[in-house]
Chain A
Amino acid sequence: PSACISTSARRASRHHRPLPEASESVSEDPLSPPSQRSRAHDTSTELQPMPTSPAMDTAAQDVSLFSSPMAPEVDASSPLMYGTPSSRVEGTPRSGIRGTPARQRADLGSVRKAPQVDMHSEPVSENAVAGSEQGAGQRLVIWGTDVNVGTCKEKFQRFLQQFTDPNSREEENAGLDLNEPLYMQKLDEISVVGEPVLNVNCSHIQTFDADLYRQLICYPQEVIPTFDMAVNELFFDRFPDSVLEHQIQVRPYSALKTRNMRALNPEDIDQLITISGMVIRTSQLIPEMQEAFFRCQVCAFNTRVEVDRGRIAEPAVCRNCNTTHSMALVHNRSAFSDKQMIKLQESPEDMPAGQTPHTTVVYAHNDLVDKVQPGDRINITGIYRAAPMRLNPRQSQVKSVYKTHIDVIHFRKTDEKRLHGLDEDGEQKLFTKERVAMLKELAAKPDVYERLSSALAPSIYEHEDIKKGILLQLFGGTRKDFTQTGRGNFRAEINILLCGDPGTSKSQLLQYVYNLVPRGQYTSGKGSSAVGLTAYVMKDPETRQLVLQTGALVLSDNGICCIDEFDKMSDNTRSVLHEVMEQQTLSIAKAGIICQLNARTSVLAAANPVESQWNPKKTTIENIQLPHTLLSRFDLIFLMLDPQDEAYDRRLAHHLVSLYYQSEEQIEEEYLDMAMLKDYIAFARTSVHPRLSEEASQALIEAYVDMRKIGSGRGMVSAYPRQLESLIRLAEAHAKVRFSSKVESIDVEEAKRLHREALKQSATDPRTGFVDISILTTGMSATARKRKEEVAQALIKLIQSKGKTPAMKYQQLFDDLRGQSEAAITKDMFDEALRALADEDYLTVTGKTVRLL
């Protein structure tokens, strides 16, 4: 096509002499539609300096490589100093803007078939910059847009020099002085680190200059190079001596129009968009030709031709010897850039129910290649493109469908923080102002706690306290970092164990929670192995690479891991939970991979009693029969027992029957909907970080002292620091429910109440009726421990009374002891006593004989 040839011809001739080609500026109103341009004037503008553009070295005054959407032939009068490969200075790199090579931005000037100026109807192919008299000087805009290069550049420089964000919470800005201009500090950083990339948050631009932001969104292809230019000028002004690999590139991110992939529509074509998704596939590296190298086969004259929108305009005539069709492409002297195709899939959270996820093709260029792996959750900012598809290159018929893709400008991994473990949830869920207002209004209600807890699993009857406990678990405590004092991280997650009769809807509760939280996992103790819970190393059959496959616990990092049939789990499997439930990490040493993964997960487990039906005559420990080391790691242990009470039965029946006849509308009126609850929790988790108030600390101290007193009154230590930590977590979670940044005494009260409520049920010693936390911490009730000692003492006495017999028959001894004691002694008790004495190295038991040592 003629357009291509003329472009390349002009470019190629840059260093020789300007061709007398038509490259005009047209005076026009900046906003008038392009179709109205017909009055061509000022035809002598090949190298006319722009009044608005700063003086620049003419050698560097290269034509812009990027093309405006309507202008295939970029005018030479553009003030844009924008790099092309030909502007590369050969030889040693010098410092300064002139010395630093620009790197072509394949992400912007990418291959696409821009609507071209129709050569038939508009014979004067004027393009690019149009100038118009406006006010004092000329006002020039890029063809087809309302972007004035000079103004735009000035605005952006002002933005860089002045913008501060004192309230920034972004992780990247850690270590910067928030009261100083943010981006100037980043430029300083570039001069030190030498990584020539400046990431700019679009929302910053928006708060600074809404018009500039609008231009950036609508005309990224024009505006971003202008930004680049502005940054480079500024940078090399400040650091004239710095040496960079190439000129600084501006990478805007989080365009506020952040969208779901599903919401993309034809209006977004060629605009700057930010969407989130998950990488599902990455292609191999595709070398894309940027500049073709031709050599004349007759006279060996060399020439370079830039690739323009995926096409190479092969020179037909050698300029040196005028032979036609003598130019041949030399592959290994051509310049290539890296490109990679990435498939992005909608994040599961964004999808409407009952539909399959959408995918989008994304192209990454240059250093963005291989930055992401399949499985990563990312936010990408880029330009949305569409290109028509030809049925057959030789046919005029076209498939009436466009191919769409996104040229990526910036990647941001949303789950990156999980790796660094810095702080708080990666979920950057954006709430509209109205939604936030609604949530705050709800939070202000005095009964918000009750409201929310009743909204939780409405189909499950009563169990108010259990629901409250689970609600607090969903909110979690505040994460505290004590690494400096050597204590490591304090767990913020609340673990809950539900234990009870079969058929008390434990599984249903677990299913509900699993469906509610974004990163929930559901496993059954019966089917899961230690490997399925933690992580394993697998060899990828294709690449022969070792891949770490993560299990349920790691996958539910920052979420909740629901484990059903906890009691059916093998001891081996359960043992991996010890580390997770307190240290919140998982250590792996397998196949040469040694690492520690974060598993900051809350565990919600459900277990059946050992005898499948709760035996009220036994203690919790005897009923659950879980190792007490594990039990003490649960903040709350709830018993779900059948109360067998008439009033309860009636309410239950009513509840169940109403399930079957109420219409869905009625149900919705009664309860908060699940979406609201989800948003409420997500908002509280990300934006509320309560701290203990003085008053609350006092209350906690008192509560703890009380708890210890109960035990110490009977000569036992009943509460351990772990319980105090639990109390703190619960109080914090309750403060989060209220959206309060301070933990107050009411929070402590509720935490105490819930703790007592759960423990009253789970740790009531059936023999004494007292609350006894030592059941959980030692696995034995205080009375049982006392009796064990008594039996052991009695046994010693018995043995001593027998005189010096080194060995005794087991059965004989048991019978003797039974005959001697007033209290009934079971075989278990006897065994236990023997074991205790064996531990003290007093005797050994081998088979059926007991030997004294």
Chain B
Amino acid sequence: MPLFFPQEDASDVRRRYKPDVIKGDMDSIRREVLEFYASLGTEIVDKSHDQDTTDLHKCVTYIRDSASGLDKSNLCVLVVGALGGRFDQEMGNLNVICRFSSMRIVLLSNDSLIHLLPRTYCHEIHIQTSVEGPHCGLIPIGTPSKSSTTTGLQWDLNNTAMEFGGLVSTSNIVKEEKVTVQSDCDLLWTISIKKL
């Protein structure tokens, strides 16, 4: 975080960007980092005994079940750091957004954002053209889709079947400010983030 504010004192930046909660296995956090944030009042939730779920899974569960003082009626979880790195971990993180399909969870990297489009809804995606696009994709992750239909893309789908091993909509282009998607299965929507 201090690297984004090179003109400022690093300690000031760290105090300003203090997490409310640190949660997980605690096998990666450095001791001095843990002590620094604990001394500032960050809640440390140690789940080192639960080896069956990923850190992302634990944190999403925490947000859904425990986080007090948070209005959860219209919640959206923004996640940075879930992509890149070890591929098995990236897949595990994609699986978390598939498993918590009733929650809005957005995975973000420098290059892309990803979120689930549950099959139980028709979707309207309002494209913020100043910050995202034009490259996009619709990914039938985990299940073949017999029928998906879109509007607003360069290569729209029209009751089109998609599956890994066959057609997967990637390197598509957003053409309009509103994209609509309807599908018989959960799809991952992904769009490129502009480098400004």
A binds B: no
Interface residues of chain A, those whose CB is within 8 Å of chain B, are none
Interface residues of chain B, those whose CB is within 8 Å of chain A, are none
